[in-house]
Amino acid sequence: MPMTVIAPRFAGESVITFEERGVRDPGPGELLVQVRANAVCGSERSQYYEGSEVTPGHEAAGVVAAAGAGTSIAEGTPGVVFLMDFCGVCRSCRLGLTNQCLDKRADMGFTADGGYGPYEVVHESNFFPIGTDLDPVEATLLLDVMGTTGHAIGRAERLRPDVESVYIAGAGPIGLGLLTMCKVVYGRDFPVRISDISPWRLDFARSFGADTLDSRDANALRELGVHDVAFDTTGKTSARTAAVAALGKRGVLVCVGHGETLTLDVSQDLIAAERAVMGSEYFLYDQFPRNVDLLRENREYLTRIITHRFDVTEIGSAFATFFEGETGKVVVTQGAEA
Protein backbone atom coordinates (compact mmCIF):
# COMPACT_ATOMS: atom_id res chain seq x y z
CA MET A 1 0.00 0.00 0.00
CA PRO A 2 1.23 3.55 -0.67
CA MET A 3 2.63 5.10 2.47
CA THR A 4 3.78 8.37 3.96
CA VAL A 5 7.31 8.63 5.33
CA ILE A 6 9.50 11.27 6.88
CA ALA A 7 12.36 12.21 4.56
CA PRO A 8 15.04 14.92 4.44
CA ARG A 9 14.13 18.05 2.52
CA PHE A 10 17.01 20.03 1.01
CA ALA A 11 15.73 23.58 1.38
CA GLY A 12 18.85 25.35 0.12
CA GLU A 13 21.38 27.59 1.84
CA SER A 14 22.81 24.58 3.73
CA VAL A 15 19.46 23.87 5.41
CA ILE A 16 18.11 20.33 5.58
CA THR A 17 14.78 19.82 7.29
CA PHE A 18 12.41 16.86 7.40
CA GLU A 19 8.97 16.54 5.84
CA GLU A 20 6.32 13.98 5.01
CA ARG A 21 6.60 12.49 1.54
CA GLY A 22 4.49 9.89 -0.18
CA VAL A 23 6.01 6.61 -1.35
CA ARG A 24 4.06 4.71 -3.99
CA ASP A 25 3.87 0.98 -4.51
CA PRO A 26 6.32 -0.48 -7.04
CA GLY A 27 4.76 -0.91 -10.47
CA PRO A 28 5.50 -3.61 -13.04
CA GLY A 29 9.24 -4.18 -13.29
CA GLU A 30 9.92 -2.04 -10.21
CA LEU A 31 11.24 -2.62 -6.70
CA LEU A 32 10.64 -0.78 -3.45
CA VAL A 33 14.02 -0.54 -1.75
CA GLN A 34 14.34 0.15 1.95
CA VAL A 35 17.49 2.25 2.14
CA ARG A 36 20.08 1.39 4.77
CA ALA A 37 22.96 3.66 3.72
CA ASN A 38 23.70 6.44 1.24
CA ALA A 39 27.10 8.06 0.72
CA VAL A 40 27.46 11.84 0.45
CA CYS A 41 28.87 13.10 -2.86
CA GLY A 42 30.39 16.39 -3.97
CA SER A 43 27.97 16.45 -6.91
CA GLU A 44 25.21 17.16 -4.35
CA ARG A 45 26.76 20.54 -3.60
CA SER A 46 24.15 22.42 -5.64
CA GLN A 47 21.30 20.54 -3.93
CA TYR A 48 22.76 21.36 -0.52
CA TYR A 49 23.25 25.04 -1.26
CA GLU A 50 20.43 25.70 -3.74
CA GLY A 51 17.78 23.19 -2.69
CA SER A 52 16.12 20.25 -4.42
CA GLU A 53 12.57 19.35 -5.40
CA VAL A 54 13.32 15.64 -5.03
CA THR A 55 14.93 13.78 -2.15
CA PRO A 56 18.65 13.57 -3.08
CA GLY A 57 20.91 10.56 -2.72
CA HIS A 58 22.48 8.58 -5.56
CA GLU A 59 24.86 6.22 -3.73
CA ALA A 60 22.30 4.03 -2.01
CA ALA A 61 22.44 0.54 -0.54
CA GLY A 62 19.45 -1.25 0.94
CA VAL A 63 17.14 -4.25 0.80
CA VAL A 64 14.13 -5.02 -1.38
CA ALA A 65 11.01 -4.34 0.69
CA ALA A 66 8.46 -5.09 -2.04
CA ALA A 67 8.54 -6.21 -5.66
CA GLY A 68 6.22 -5.25 -8.49
CA ALA A 69 4.72 -7.55 -11.09
CA GLY A 70 7.11 -9.24 -13.49
CA THR A 71 10.20 -8.90 -11.30
CA SER A 72 12.56 -11.71 -10.36
CA ILE A 73 14.42 -10.30 -7.35
CA ALA A 74 12.99 -11.55 -4.07
CA GLU A 75 11.97 -9.42 -1.12
CA GLY A 76 14.75 -9.17 1.44
CA THR A 77 17.51 -9.14 -1.19
CA PRO A 78 20.30 -6.67 -0.35
CA GLY A 79 21.82 -4.56 -3.09
CA VAL A 80 22.83 -1.16 -4.42
CA VAL A 81 21.08 1.30 -6.73
CA PHE A 82 22.63 2.30 -10.07
CA LEU A 83 22.34 6.06 -10.52
CA MET A 84 21.09 6.01 -14.10
CA ASP A 85 17.67 4.50 -14.74
CA PHE A 86 18.66 3.26 -18.19
CA CYS A 87 16.07 2.08 -20.70
CA GLY A 88 17.78 -1.18 -21.65
CA VAL A 89 16.69 -1.11 -25.30
CA CYS A 90 18.41 1.84 -27.00
CA ARG A 91 21.57 1.54 -29.11
CA SER A 92 23.86 2.31 -26.15
CA CYS A 93 22.12 -0.07 -23.77
CA ARG A 94 22.19 -2.91 -26.30
CA LEU A 95 25.98 -2.52 -26.35
CA GLY A 96 26.09 -2.55 -22.54
CA LEU A 97 26.90 1.18 -22.41
CA THR A 98 24.27 1.84 -19.76
CA ASN A 99 25.98 5.06 -18.65
CA GLN A 100 25.26 6.49 -22.11
CA CYS A 101 21.58 5.52 -22.38
CA LEU A 102 19.83 7.49 -25.12
CA ASP A 103 16.40 7.31 -23.46
CA LYS A 104 17.23 7.47 -19.75
CA ARG A 105 14.18 7.42 -17.50
CA ALA A 106 15.72 9.20 -14.51
CA ASP A 107 18.84 10.01 -12.53
CA MET A 108 18.10 8.68 -9.05
CA GLY A 109 18.47 11.40 -6.44
CA PHE A 110 18.56 14.16 -9.04
CA THR A 111 15.36 13.83 -11.08
CA ALA A 112 13.66 11.15 -8.95
CA ASP A 113 13.60 10.61 -5.18
CA GLY A 114 16.85 9.05 -4.03
CA GLY A 115 18.55 7.38 -1.12
CA TYR A 116 18.41 9.88 1.73
CA GLY A 117 14.76 8.95 2.16
CA PRO A 118 13.85 5.70 3.93
CA TYR A 119 12.48 4.13 0.74
CA GLU A 120 13.29 4.41 -2.96
CA VAL A 121 11.31 3.04 -5.92
CA VAL A 122 13.63 1.80 -8.68
CA HIS A 123 13.39 -0.33 -11.77
CA GLU A 124 14.68 -3.84 -11.18
CA SER A 125 17.16 -3.28 -14.01
CA ASN A 126 19.06 -0.59 -12.07
CA PHE A 127 19.21 -2.50 -8.78
CA PHE A 128 22.25 -4.76 -8.34
CA PRO A 129 21.87 -7.59 -5.80
CA ILE A 130 24.81 -8.33 -3.50
CA GLY A 131 25.45 -10.97 -0.88
CA THR A 132 24.79 -10.63 2.84
CA ASP A 133 28.53 -10.56 3.62
CA LEU A 134 28.84 -6.85 2.76
CA ASP A 135 27.20 -4.40 5.11
CA PRO A 136 25.27 -1.55 3.48
CA VAL A 137 27.84 1.11 4.38
CA GLU A 138 30.62 -0.88 2.74
CA ALA A 139 28.39 -1.63 -0.25
CA THR A 140 28.11 2.09 -1.10
CA LEU A 141 31.78 1.92 -2.19
CA LEU A 142 30.62 -0.06 -5.24
CA LEU A 143 29.09 3.10 -6.68
CA ASP A 144 31.08 6.31 -7.11
CA VAL A 145 34.24 5.28 -5.26
CA MET A 146 34.86 2.02 -7.14
CA GLY A 147 32.45 2.14 -10.07
CA THR A 148 33.19 5.63 -11.39
CA THR A 149 36.93 5.32 -10.86
CA GLY A 150 37.28 1.78 -12.16
CA HIS A 151 35.48 2.83 -15.33
CA ALA A 152 37.83 5.81 -15.74
CA ILE A 153 40.85 3.51 -15.46
CA GLY A 154 39.32 1.24 -18.07
CA ARG A 155 38.73 4.20 -20.37
CA ALA A 156 42.41 5.15 -20.12
CA GLU A 157 43.48 1.57 -20.90
CA ARG A 158 41.62 1.69 -24.21
CA LEU A 159 44.27 4.12 -25.45
CA ARG A 160 47.14 3.28 -23.12
CA PRO A 161 47.23 -0.45 -22.29
CA ASP A 162 50.82 -0.28 -20.97
CA VAL A 163 50.16 1.99 -17.98
CA GLU A 164 53.20 2.26 -15.69
CA SER A 165 52.53 5.51 -13.80
CA VAL A 166 49.53 7.68 -12.91
CA TYR A 167 48.99 11.26 -11.80
CA ILE A 168 45.73 12.30 -10.12
CA ALA A 169 44.58 15.90 -9.67
CA GLY A 170 42.43 16.12 -6.54
CA ALA A 171 42.48 13.94 -3.42
CA GLY A 172 38.78 14.06 -2.58
CA PRO A 173 36.68 10.87 -2.51
CA ILE A 174 36.92 10.31 -6.28
CA GLY A 175 40.65 10.98 -6.26
CA LEU A 176 41.01 8.52 -3.37
CA GLY A 177 38.92 6.05 -5.33
CA LEU A 178 41.24 6.37 -8.33
CA LEU A 179 44.29 6.02 -6.09
CA THR A 180 43.04 2.88 -4.36
CA MET A 181 41.62 1.28 -7.50
CA CYS A 182 44.97 1.79 -9.26
CA LYS A 183 46.67 0.08 -6.33
CA VAL A 184 44.10 -2.74 -6.38
CA VAL A 185 44.25 -3.26 -10.15
CA TYR A 186 47.98 -2.73 -10.78
CA GLY A 187 49.49 -3.69 -7.42
CA ARG A 188 50.19 -1.93 -4.15
CA ASP A 189 53.66 -0.85 -5.35
CA PHE A 190 52.28 0.80 -8.49
CA PRO A 191 53.43 4.46 -8.55
CA VAL A 192 50.59 6.95 -8.09
CA ARG A 193 51.15 10.67 -7.55
CA ILE A 194 48.24 12.77 -6.31
CA SER A 195 47.87 16.51 -5.71
CA ASP A 196 45.54 18.67 -3.64
CA ILE A 197 45.51 21.94 -1.73
CA SER A 198 44.40 20.29 1.55
CA PRO A 199 47.18 19.09 3.88
CA TRP A 200 44.66 16.75 5.53
CA ARG A 201 43.70 15.12 2.24
CA LEU A 202 47.33 14.75 1.18
CA ASP A 203 48.21 13.11 4.48
CA PHE A 204 45.23 10.76 4.12
CA ALA A 205 46.26 9.88 0.56
CA ARG A 206 49.77 9.02 1.74
CA SER A 207 48.25 6.46 4.10
CA PHE A 208 47.04 4.59 1.00
CA GLY A 209 50.50 4.57 -0.56
CA ALA A 210 50.44 7.69 -2.71
CA ASP A 211 53.22 10.12 -3.50
CA THR A 212 51.73 13.57 -2.86
CA LEU A 213 52.28 17.21 -3.73
CA ASP A 214 50.63 20.52 -2.94
CA SER A 215 48.87 21.71 -6.11
CA ARG A 216 49.49 25.34 -5.08
CA ASP A 217 53.24 24.76 -5.40
CA ALA A 218 53.99 25.96 -8.93
CA ASN A 219 57.55 24.62 -8.83
CA ALA A 220 56.36 21.17 -7.79
CA LEU A 221 53.83 21.14 -10.61
CA ARG A 222 56.48 22.12 -13.13
CA GLU A 223 58.64 19.25 -11.89
CA LEU A 224 55.94 16.62 -11.99
CA GLY A 225 57.79 14.56 -14.55
CA VAL A 226 56.04 12.42 -17.12
CA HIS A 227 53.19 9.99 -16.54
CA ASP A 228 51.34 7.58 -18.78
CA VAL A 229 47.89 8.59 -17.53
CA ALA A 230 46.53 11.61 -15.67
CA PHE A 231 43.09 11.85 -14.10
CA ASP A 232 41.42 15.15 -13.26
CA THR A 233 38.79 14.94 -10.53
CA THR A 234 38.68 18.66 -9.73
CA GLY A 235 37.01 20.07 -12.84
CA LYS A 236 39.42 23.02 -12.64
CA THR A 237 41.09 24.46 -15.74
CA SER A 238 44.38 24.95 -13.90
CA ALA A 239 44.42 21.34 -12.72
CA ARG A 240 43.68 20.01 -16.21
CA THR A 241 46.38 22.18 -17.74
CA ALA A 242 48.93 20.90 -15.23
CA ALA A 243 47.77 17.33 -15.89
CA VAL A 244 48.39 17.68 -19.63
CA ALA A 245 51.88 18.99 -18.90
CA ALA A 246 52.51 15.94 -16.70
CA LEU A 247 51.87 13.49 -19.56
CA GLY A 248 54.62 11.80 -21.51
CA LYS A 249 54.37 10.66 -25.12
CA ARG A 250 51.16 8.73 -25.82
CA GLY A 251 49.86 9.99 -22.51
CA VAL A 252 46.14 10.12 -21.78
CA LEU A 253 44.24 12.69 -19.71
CA VAL A 254 40.91 11.37 -18.40
CA CYS A 255 38.53 14.10 -17.18
CA VAL A 256 36.34 12.63 -14.44
CA GLY A 257 35.27 15.81 -12.63
CA HIS A 258 32.71 18.08 -14.26
CA GLY A 259 33.37 21.81 -14.23
CA GLU A 260 35.54 24.24 -16.13
CA THR A 261 37.23 24.24 -19.56
CA LEU A 262 40.58 23.23 -21.02
CA THR A 263 42.54 25.06 -23.71
CA LEU A 264 45.04 23.03 -25.76
CA ASP A 265 47.79 23.73 -28.24
CA VAL A 266 46.71 20.91 -30.53
CA SER A 267 50.03 20.59 -32.37
CA GLN A 268 52.21 20.59 -29.27
CA ASP A 269 49.89 19.04 -26.68
CA LEU A 270 48.23 16.37 -28.82
CA ILE A 271 49.64 15.70 -32.29
CA ALA A 272 53.38 15.73 -31.74
CA ALA A 273 53.28 13.49 -28.67
CA GLU A 274 50.17 11.57 -29.75
CA ARG A 275 48.44 12.37 -26.49
CA ALA A 276 44.68 12.10 -25.97
CA VAL A 277 42.08 13.81 -23.81
CA MET A 278 38.92 11.89 -22.97
CA GLY A 279 35.94 12.04 -20.65
CA SER A 280 34.63 9.36 -18.32
CA GLU A 281 31.06 9.40 -17.00
CA TYR A 282 29.96 7.15 -14.12
CA PHE A 283 30.28 3.44 -15.07
CA LEU A 284 28.55 0.49 -16.70
CA TYR A 285 26.02 -1.65 -14.85
CA ASP A 286 27.89 -4.75 -16.06
CA GLN A 287 31.00 -3.63 -14.17
CA PHE A 288 29.36 -4.42 -10.81
CA PRO A 289 30.38 -8.11 -10.56
CA ARG A 290 34.11 -7.41 -10.96
CA ASN A 291 33.97 -4.61 -8.41
CA VAL A 292 32.15 -6.76 -5.87
CA ASP A 293 34.96 -9.29 -6.16
CA LEU A 294 37.58 -6.53 -5.79
CA LEU A 295 35.82 -5.16 -2.70
CA ARG A 296 35.73 -8.57 -1.05
CA GLU A 297 39.39 -9.24 -1.89
CA ASN A 298 40.58 -5.79 -0.71
CA ARG A 299 38.00 -5.05 1.95
CA GLU A 300 40.25 -3.72 4.72
CA TYR A 301 42.17 -1.45 2.35
CA LEU A 302 39.17 -0.01 0.50
CA THR A 303 36.81 0.48 3.44
CA ARG A 304 39.31 2.82 5.10
CA ILE A 305 38.11 5.42 2.58
CA ILE A 306 34.94 5.68 4.70
CA THR A 307 35.88 8.00 7.56
CA HIS A 308 32.49 9.13 8.91
CA ARG A 309 29.05 7.63 9.49
CA PHE A 310 26.00 9.67 10.51
CA ASP A 311 22.45 8.58 11.26
CA VAL A 312 19.93 10.21 8.92
CA THR A 313 18.68 12.31 11.86
CA GLU A 314 22.10 14.00 11.73
CA ILE A 315 22.21 14.48 7.96
CA GLY A 316 22.82 18.20 8.33
CA SER A 317 25.98 17.48 10.31
CA ALA A 318 26.99 14.88 7.73
CA PHE A 319 26.89 17.43 4.91
CA ALA A 320 28.54 20.18 6.93
CA THR A 321 31.35 17.83 7.90
CA PHE A 322 31.82 16.60 4.33
CA PHE A 323 32.02 20.08 2.82
CA GLU A 324 34.56 21.18 5.43
CA GLY A 325 36.93 19.09 3.32
CA GLU A 326 38.67 16.94 5.92
CA THR A 327 36.97 13.60 5.33
CA GLY A 328 37.15 10.59 3.15
CA LYS A 329 33.75 9.22 2.24
CA VAL A 330 30.86 10.22 4.53
CA VAL A 331 27.90 7.84 4.75
CA VAL A 332 24.38 8.53 6.03
CA THR A 333 22.71 5.48 7.59
CA GLN A 334 19.17 4.62 8.58
CA GLY A 335 17.26 1.67 9.92
CA ALA A 336 19.13 -1.48 10.83
CA GLU A 337 22.70 -0.49 10.00
CA ALA A 338 25.10 -3.44 9.95
Coil, helix or strand at residue 35: strand
Q: Name the band, by pLDDT with cuts 50, 70 and 90, for residue 224.
A: confident
Per-residue DSSP letter, 118: S
Least confident of 23-37, 165-179, 188-202, 214-228: 214-228
Say if residues 256 and 277 touch (Cβ distance below 8 Å). no
Q: Name the band, by pLDDT with cuts 50, 70 and 90, for residue 217.
A: confident
Q: Where are the beta strands (DSSP E) in the chain?
A: 3-12, 15-23, 30-39, 60-67, 78-81, 84-85, 106-107, 119-123, 127-129, 166-169, 192-196, 211-214, 227-232, 247-255, 276-279, 306-311, 329-333
Distance CA 86, CA 100 (A): 8
Q: Name the band, by pLDDT with cuts 50, 70 and 90, for residue 219.
A: confident
Q: Is the pLDDT of residue 337 over 50?
A: no
Q: Is the pLDDT of residue 11 over 60?
A: yes
Question: For the segment 25-56, what is each residue's pLDDT rounded down to a tens digit?
Answer: 999 999 999 999 999 999 999 999 999 999 99
In sequence order, what are the residues at sequence separation of 6 or more whose Cβ sits closer than 8 angstroms to the Cβ of residue 128? 79, 80, 81, 82, 142, 285, 288
Q: Name the band, by pLDDT with cuts 50, 70 and 90, for residue 1.
A: low
Q: Name the band, by pLDDT with cuts 50, 70 and 90, for residue 338.
A: very low
Q: Is the pLDDT of residue 22 over 50?
A: yes
Determine the Cα angle at 292 with ends 127 and 41, to 5°: 65
Q: Name the band, by pLDDT with cuts 50, 70 and 90, for residue 336.
A: low
Question: For the segment 230-267, what is each residue's pLDDT rounded down to a tens digit?
Answer: 999 999 999 999 999 999 999 999 999 999 999 999 99
Coil, helix or strand at residue 179: helix
Distance CA 84, CA 109 (A): 10
Q: What is the pTM of this model?
A: 0.96
The C-alpha R_g of the chain, in whole angstroms, comes to 20
Per-residue pLDDT at 220: 80
Q: Name the band, by pLDDT with cuts 50, 70 and 90, for residue 97.
A: very high
Domains of the chain (ranges, CATH numbers): 3-132+305-333 (3.90.180.10), 146-279 (3.40.50.720)
Per-residue DSSP letter, 223: T
